[in-house]
Amino acid sequence: MVQNLIQHINGITPLTEEEEGIVAELVREKTLARKQFLHRAGEVAQYSAFVVEGCLRSYAVDRNGFEHILQFAPANWWISDMYSFVKNKPSELNVDALLETKVLLLSRSCQVSIFDRIPKLERYFRILTENALAASNHRTINYLSLPAKIRYEKFCTMYPTLINTIPQKSVASYIGITPEFLSKLRAEF
């Protein structure tokens, strides 16, 4: 389990064996059943989760009860409610499991305290956050400038694995359309 995370970190900022040991002590393993929540809207997000196996999602529920997915996290991705996690304030996102999922949990206080002991980890998270921001910007531009059909096609090429593992209505929620309309788009091949 922890080995997956260490490999991921080593791919960005190689650690010494001692540092690897410290990382292993910082995180806590957890298995989430399908539909089990990691974080609920209104609470303060205590943890950021590294997905070892399975898939999580974060999403908001609007005033009409519709869900809007912000992020999918398949294996080797981090997920949290960044706003809540960083500001230590309650926020609007839920995080739950789309499938049975194994995660490693890192609390914000652990994370922040480790940055002084292992600056490499501050670098690791700095780089991950830069990448996430670049990806988020790209998504925003897509959303502003492309019609639904092309957003769907791009989703398929971007997340080929997810297409076959998560329900189609989740894809619709992520790309910002209704499941009925996605069904219609797919019917046109």
Verify binding: residue 117, a copy of itself, rule CB under 8 A.
Answer: no
Interface ranges with DNA (CB under 7 A)? 34, 64, 66, 147-149, 167-169, 176-184, 186-187
Structure tokens at 116: 């002084």
Q: Which residues contact 115 (CB under 8 A, 6 or more apart)?
A: 121, 122, 125
Could you say which of 28, 143, 167, 184 contacts a copy of itself (CB under 8 A)? 143
Closer to DNA by CB, 133 or 143: give it.
143
Binding map of a copy of itself across residues 67-96, x = CB under 8 A, - = no contact: -x-xx----------xx--xx----xx---
Closer to DNA by CB, 29 or 67: give it.
67
CA-to-CA separations, 82 to 118, 122, 133, 188, in angstroms, rounded: 21, 16, 11, 37
Interface region with a copy of itself, contact rule CB under 8 A, candidates 13-21, 31-39, 96-104, 141-149: 141-149
- Binding partner selected for residue 181 from a copy of itself, DNA, none, CB under the kind-specific 5 to 8 Å limit: DNA
Least distance from DNA to the Cβ atom of residue 166, Å: 8
Hey, is 125 helix, strand or coil?
Answer: helix
Verify binding: residue 40, a copy of itself, rule CB under 8 A.
Answer: no
CA distance 41 to 59: 9
- Binding partner selected for residue 41 from a copy of itself, DNA, none, CB under the kind-specific 5 to 8 Å limit: none
Longest dimension (CA), the chain: 56
CA-to-CA separations, 143 to 18, 21, 34, 129, 155, in angstroms, rounded: 44, 42, 29, 21, 12
C-alpha torsion angle, residues 10, 78, 35, 186 (rounded to 10): -100
Q: Tell me the β-bridge partners of 50.
A: 78, 104
Closer to DNA by CB, 145 or 157: give it.
145
Least distance from a copy of itself to the Cβ atom of residue 75, Å: 21
Cα dihedral across residues 46, 47, 48, 51: positive or negative: negative
Return residues touching a copy of itself (CB under 8 A): 60, 62, 66, 68, 70-71, 82-83, 86-87, 92-93, 115, 119, 122-123, 125-126, 129-134, 136-141, 143-146, 173, 176
